[in-house]
Amino acid sequence: MNRRDAETGLVERIESRILMLRGQKIMLDSDLAALYGVEAKNLKRAVRRNKDRFPDDFMFRLVKQEVASLRCQFGTSRSWGGRRYSPYAFTEHGVAMLSSVLNSKRAIQVNIEIMRTFGRLRRIIAAHEELSRKLEELERKYDAQFKVVFDTIRELMSTDVPPARRIGFGSDDS
């Protein structure tokens, strides 16, 4: 496998592990640990030692309903089984801060790819929003143009037309 294939595989693994939760894109501690090549307990230990670097908008612990929801979405697997505590969720800023806590060559490289992936997702979302905005503008523009056509058709349909004269011979009775 060449380097480009390895990078593509890493990007796909990263993208598949980014979740939407509480209106934010997040990654779970166990997924980050796997990507960084460290044990989850070591990652958590490093975070606990540097708690000041991880405010609530960088990292938060999942509540029971969120854990249950994720289990339902992904099914029960070995990675979920046997957890005593709810996992930590890291936002994009929290993942960036992890690079200062985990100081291995692999952690740095993986972190760079994660940041690029978050950026790519942000651009995709922005492009989608721009496309939606343009579509709404077109709909407004063409709705106005078609309104004129429909109004004209209604006008033509509602015009009182005088009764037509009868053609042919008729009796004096009719």
| Domain residue spans of the chain | 3-128
Grade residue 137 by pLDDT with cuts at 50, 70 and 90: confident
How many Å separate Cα 59 from the centre of its chain?
19
Residue 109 sits at φ, ψ, to 5 deg, of -65, -45
Give buried/exposed letters for 5-28 (b at 16+ CB in 10 A, else e).
eeeeebeeebeebbbebeeebbbb
CA distance 18 to 172: 89
Structure tokens at 166: 């009868």
Give tens-digit pLDDT for 39-91. Answer: 888 899 999 999 999 999 999 999 888 888 877 766 555 454 556 778 999 99
The predicted model gives 153-159 an average pLDDT of 69
Q: Comparing 139 with 53, which gets the higher pLDDT?
A: 53
Residue in 82, 40, 88 with CA at minimum distance from that of residue 60: 88
Give this prediction's pTM: 0.62
